[in-house]
Amino acid sequence: MTTVSSDQQAGGGPSGLQSGAAWMRGRVMPIAEASIPLNDWGLIHSDITYDVVPVWEGAFFRLGLYVERFFRSMESLRLDPGLSESDVKTVLHDLVSATGLKRAYVAMVTSRGVNTVPGSRDPRDCRNHFFAWCVPYIHVIRPDIAASGAAVHVARTVTRIPASSVDPRVKNYHWGDFTKGLFEAKDAGAETVLLLDGEGNVTEGPGFNVFSIKDNCLVTPDDGVLEGISRRTVLEIGAELGLVTQTRTLPLEELLQSDEVLISTSGGGVAPVTKIDDRLFSNGSPGEVTLTIRERYFAWANSPQYRTEIDYRAE
């Protein structure tokens, strides 16, 4: 059973939970009160996995797919906090309900935990644990920039961590490559960064997948990337619109010859890219196909078929 910190009101106000909350050990608390031990392997070894599901207008969008992917990630890393998919969904519902947030960014996390045998370096001796947190909706690309189209920089000083080292299909906090790339992008005056693999092929950016649109064909990379739920949604929408959809190797040279470029992310849905380095797309404005996909994405987010409504009666 979930309990709410006694000094907080569900739904909160400026002093409540609306600025962010966490669920830990059966209790919902202000996010500033949440903590993990300093010797937790999730902290000291990044031995941890997570997933993020968006809440849009009072409902989770495609919740089942996000939770299923989270459990696949845990299985891949041999993490087991002793919870079922139903348990995790209940926690996420309780957490968001307590905040009263109608648009939110909701994370579910499992960490390796603290080693229970003094002096042991055996990961099997760690007690895995689950927690969740929720903050107001996050946009990977700021809405004002997304409206006019984002400028993206292709990193030159770093490539994506090879999939043979860290599987990108398992959501992780190994952001050393992304962070270095973001500094490079900001120094170049761009909003965000896109990383290549060691062969010059496009992979992904920090928190997003990328798509090329050319000659009625919608292409997104299939290697070195997270198989995003928003990515899946864009591919499904593209097929619905009659586009030819492909997941395959995407060389940078091909991306730069696109008619339109867009990104997909749980933090903002679909955003147009109007510039990569010095290359302009759609005459520097969001493309028609991209805008149609973006509009359709939010139509899906408001469709009962894809929504899991949140019970806010505790407010």
pTM of the model: 0.93
Thinking of the domain 143-301, which architecture would CATH place it in?
Alpha-Beta Barrel (3.20)
Label residue 129 exposed, middle or buried (CB < 10 Å: 0-12, 13-18, 19+).
buried
Place of tokens 């001796």: 125
Long-range contacts of 195-199 (CB under 8 A, 24+ apart): 195/154, 195/155, 195/158, 195/159, 195/160, 196/154, 196/155, 196/159, 196/160, 196/252, 197/159, 197/160, 197/162, 197/223, 197/224, 198/159, 198/162
Please report, as a single letter, which amino acid is at residue 20.
G
Q: What is the pLDDT of residue 16?
A: 82
- What CA–CA distance (Å, rounded) separates 165 from 161? 7
Domain 3-137 carries which CATH code? Answer: 3.30.470.10
Q: What is the pLDDT of residue 12?
A: 44
- Structural domain spans, the chain: 3-137, 143-301
Phi then psi dihedrals of residue 4, to 5 deg: -105, 135
Q: Provide the pLDDT for residue 8.
A: 44
End-to-end CA distance of the chain: 17
Task: Give the pLDDT confidence score for residue 1 in this predicted structure.
Answer: 52
Is-contact 289 260, C-beta < 8 A? Answer: yes
Token pair, residue 163, equals: 């999939």
At 77 the pLDDT is: 98
Please report the pLDDT score of residue 15 as a whole number: 45
* DSSP one-letter code for 247: E
pLDDT along the chain (315 residues), means of 10: 51 67 97 97 98 98 98 98 98 97 98 95 97 96 92 98 96 97 98 97 98 97 97 98 98 98 97 97 95 98 98 73
